[in-house]
Chains A and B, each alone.
Chain A
Amino acid sequence: MTSMQTRATILVGASILGGESRDLAIDGGLLVDPATVDRDRADVLDASGLIALPGLVDLHTHLRQPGGEQAETVATGVRAAAAGGYTCVFAMANTSPVADTPAVVEQVHRLGLDAGLATVRPIGAVTVGLAGERLADLGMLAGSAARVRVFSDDGHCVADAELMRRALEHAASLDAVIAQHAQDPALTRGAVMHESPLAAELGLTGWPSVAEASIVARDAMLAEATGARLHVCHVSTVETVEVVRAAKARGIRITAEVTPHHLLLTEELVRSYDGRFKVNPPLRAERDVRALREALADGTIDIVATDHAPHAPEAKQTAFADAAFGMVGLETALGAVQQSMVETGLLDWAGVARVMSTAPAAIGREPGYDAPLEIGSPAHVVLVDAAARTTIDASHLKGRSANSPFLGVELPGSVRHVWHAGRRTVVDGEVQA
């Protein structure tokens, strides 16, 4: 037995959710009342000047295993997660083989348990092979050891309205959610960047905003008709924000996510033709970025999810049209949110905890995150130095791939310490083995 498992830890003087400073105590994997801990027998950490947040939860992570191990594995992906302050990640289903059988989701679940640095919750495919032709066995995935509660064909849209309707009906009976990658395939053939005057100038095929908003509008009506829960992945346009807002006003059970890169970056970066800036949905215009920030602040968009999408260098160092879609994001998400939402005054740290921990855990039905930093909760804790500023380079990326849009960019904030269920996963900024 290591001392870590037997000794309590007291975090002295952290600013709780960016508010008042008080002590936190961790013992036996739980947060406990500091007054009940014998300080002579506890490890004491000076947390003054640091902000305490609950462990972050990412509802949208690509861990690539099985099948894409040259870009990421569960073990390397959770290192990236821990480095970014995450204690739970939901692993997308677009692996090879696809996560459409209990065998695959249980494998990913087990690899997560082995890696240990964060909880890995597999997402199940909506359709067999993500082919959009027939429903996967959602009930068997939900009933597996991996307890799947989120289903998504992410990377592909469930474009067939009949399939989407049946998927929603089935998910409702399982208390599960369908997370839709909203992209009308007919409107986006060959599309590689935002459809705009800039796309015309660059000679790149455009991805029109309406291809996202129109699917979300349809799905919202299907969710209303079925009473099911719908989650919209990576909202990227002002038009989609307006559709989600109207759907919520109607009482439809709809939630939505935005990525850190869509909160901070615009299509202007594509001018370089650098494949690092190719992502799906694409980086949009300034007006979209503004609308996404406001929507996250006012609750129209519920959560931030990274869409962490690792790719090997050869998939990116090619012509823009040929490059793979996706960006890594776990390590830089909190900094990007601090810059776009906190430093702009749109969100306080309690709000950050809501959109990056409490709310995504609730959508994914991951227990233990509903009472952040409160006594009795599992000890998922992050200590952040919000005053730090870091110019991101490859050494800050702890996963296997370095396809970050933030290389060379200065971001605020630094994750100093992380506890996952009481286990230290990051110490002084270093991910533990």
Chain B
Amino acid sequence: MKHLLTAAMPREEAVALLDLAEDMHQIQEREVKKLPALRGRTVVNLFFEDSTRTRSSFEIAGKWLSADVINVSGKGSSASKGESLRDTGLTIAAMGVDGVVVRSGASGAPALLADWIGRPVVNAGDGTHEHPTQALLDAFALRRRIHGEASRGKALDGVRVAIVGDIAHSRVARSNALLLPALGAEVTLVGPPSLLPPAASDGTRLGVRAETSLDAVIAEQPDALMLLRVQLERQAGKVTPSPAEYITGWSLTDERLARLPGTRIMHPGPMNRGLELSSRAADSDASTVLEQVTAGVSVRMAVLYALLASDQGGSR
């Protein structure tokens, strides 16, 4: 693995990364949470888009691996003064950094940077395209919920996951629609018709099944229900439903929660309580929300280690 640009990867590679994340997960239980693996390595978090959660998670992951982590924000930097994406990337690479974690509002920006700068690049979310570490942490948290301490080596065979929300604009949905099926899970995308991406000739969307009725999908009793953050203000009133209509059709309300006794409730955060899901759903025992956050650090440690540790050396 030279870069992590997409969650599309072979099953074996995904399981190996999740297993590596299990190793990293162990140190979270230690008092001194520090491994020397990336000592002397420099990682730049290049964030053209605000994201306190993802940036902090990558920063902690890098620091627990003893890397020097520098945060560069696109806002207030040269990038906001008209410098091109390419020049910003080349400038940072010229400073001798070992790896770059990129968050951008532009789909494909991390892939272009990877071509231009010749250093390992991690996609920390690009536009409406992908967010591969989010999918990995979702898989990790779900695998742990299902298999517990016996997770190592396992995949998600036969696990049925429904992803609900603004699928068309969600990089989280895209990455999960790639990664979870590779691990053997069955993914169903659920959302209002205007927020689903175009269908292929076989009716699939993003390569998986899509439905417009959340209630119909709830009737199938999925193993996990993943609620996406919804930004109804994006195109207010034009193509998106009103909050009232959204809640009526696609929110995990208390009433719907009661119909899902054995289903894990997932959310990538930040949550809009009362919109995507009720507070009771968010705080229920079925909720994996905080486990997902914890898993994020472990998964990102695994990714940085796989890309930057000297004995890995980009040879894979």
- A residues within 8 Å of B by Cβ? 195-197, 199-206, 272-274, 314, 317-322
13 contacts between A and B (CB under 8 A): A197-B206, A200-B205, A200-B206, A203-B107, A204-B107, A204-B128, A204-B129, A273-B112, A317-B84, A318-B84, A319-B108, A320-B108, A321-B108
B168 touches A200 (CB 8 A): yes
A200 touches B198 (CB 8 A): yes
* Min CB–CB distance A49 → chain B (angstroms): 42
Q: How far is the CA of A317 from the CA of B85 in the complex (A)?
A: 8
Known: A206-B198, A317-B86. Is A201-B206 also a contact (CB below 8 A)? yes
Chain A residues near B207 (CB, 8 Å)? Answer: 201
B199 touches A203 (CB 8 A): no
Q: How far is the CA of A272 from the CA of B106 in the complex (A)?
A: 14
Q: How far is the CA of A331 from the CA of B207 in the complex (A)?
A: 39
B85 touches A203 (CB 8 A): no
* Min CB–CB distance B139 → chain A (angstroms): 19
A319 touches B198 (CB 8 A): no
Q: How far is the CA of A274 from the CA of B115 in the complex (A)?
A: 10
Q: How far is the CA of A402 from the CA of B248 in the complex (A)?
A: 53
A203 touches B127 (CB 8 A): yes
| Chain A residue at minimum C-beta to C-beta distance from B235 | A189
* Min CB–CB distance B223 → chain A (angstroms): 25
Q: How far is the CA of A204 from the CA of B107 in the complex (A)?
A: 7
* Min CB–CB distance B265 → chain A (angstroms): 26
| Chain B residue at minimum C-beta to C-beta distance from A189 | B235
Q: Is B171 an interface residue (CB 8 A)?
A: yes
Q: Given A199, A206, A321, which contacts B127 in the complex, CB threshold below 8 Å? A: A321
Q: How far is the CA of A274 from the CA of B112 in the complex (A)?
A: 8
B174 touches A319 (CB 8 A): no
A319 touches B197 (CB 8 A): no
Chain A residues near B108 (CB, 8 Å)? Answer: 202-204, 273, 319-321
Q: Is B104 an interface residue (CB 8 A)?
A: yes
Chain B residues near A321 (CB, 8 Å)? Answer: 106-108, 127
A319 touches B129 (CB 8 A): no
Q: How far is the CA of A59 from the CA of B42 in the complex (A)?
A: 54
* Min CB–CB distance B257 → chain A (angstroms): 30
Q: How far is the CA of A202 from the CA of B178 in the complex (A)?
A: 12
Contact with A along B105-130 (1 / 0, CB 8 A): 01111011000000000000011111
A320 touches B174 (CB 8 A): no
Q: How far is the CA of A317 from the CA of B116 in the complex (A)?
A: 10
Chain B residues near A273 (CB, 8 Å)? Answer: 107-109, 111-112
